[in-house]
Amino acid sequence: MSELAFVLRGLGFWAPGYPTPEAWAGRPADCPEDQAAAPRAELLPPMLRRRTSLLTRMAAEVAQQAIRRGGLDPAHTAMVYGSVYGEIRTTLDLLAALLEPGAALSPTKFHNSVHNTAAGYVSISAGNRVGDAALTAGRSTLAAGLLDAAARVACEGGDAVLVIAEEPLPEPLAAGLRYGPLAAAFAVSAPGRPNMPGRPCLLVQGANDMSIRPSVPPWLADNPCAAALALIDAAMRPDAAAVALEPDRQAGWQCRLAGPA
């Protein structure tokens, strides 16, 4: 049985109407979606920000929150980005443009359609030359992202931030499936460094308790990165917890968070 330890240093969160981890943790029971809300994404200079999508702005916003709260250096943190459909709205614009035979595609939209778009903008904005990855594993993206980020700091030291971000699927590709956007970030370091504040965590595999359903509002239930919501909830509480990172499966990766020492 394989497992991997890491230290959780800081969090970031954004969903429409819930611009911080505290706002999410203190959500009302009916948890309405504020569709007019937009992430501030102040990490991105305005000249760059105006060229970016909701996905990239959400990613930049939560990345900055986690970096700041974890006390990390934005120029010297490895960045890992997880998203299932990535820059899907920009991609859809390109699919529409392709219907015109021979028309040139917008170079900006083309380079903004790649899965590592947010990675590029954030590295440019933060002056970060450490290196990054953008990944997906469908509904296991949170698990894959934590494994990748924790393995990164275990092998190479330093700090990493995992950014999970998913924007709504546009029609016609969505075929009626509707969910709201969300983004969450987790700053991680390898265990064993002296005088490092943070919460010890362990990635393990096991059977999921299918009777526990995380508290997710209906407008986020079908977001393929919704598993991140339960990890934010558990990380915002002090008590020990085991969070299913692949809650749709009978068994899978889990994150055990230590309780108070």
Is residue 36 within the footprint of another protein (CB under 8 A)?
Answer: no
| Sign of the alpha-carbon dihedral angle for 186, 190, 191, 197 | negative
Tokens linked to 34 = 């504020």
Query: Using CB under 8 A as the criterion, what x/- string covers residues 101-120 for binding another protein?
Result: x--xxxx--xxxxxxxx-xx
Cβ atoms within 10 Å of 246's Cβ, excluding its own? 21
Is residue 76 within the footprint of another protein (CB under 8 A)?
Answer: no
Nearer to another protein by C-beta: 37 or 124?
124
Q: d(Cα 162, Cα 249) in Å, to the nearest integer?
A: 22
Nearer to another protein by C-beta: 172 or 260?
172
Q: What letter represents residue 245's amino acid?
A: L
Question: How many amino acids of this chain bind another protein (CB under 8 A)?
Answer: 62
Is residue 132 within the footprint of another protein (CB under 8 A)?
Answer: yes
**CA proximity to 84, closest of 4, 13, 201, 174:** 174
Q: d(Cα 148, Cα 155) in Å, to the nearest integer?
A: 11
Nearer to another protein by C-beta: 119 or 165?
119
Minimum CB distance to another protein, residue 55 (Å)? 14
Is residue 172 within the footprint of another protein (CB under 8 A)?
Answer: yes
Site for another protein in 186-205 (CB under 8 A): none
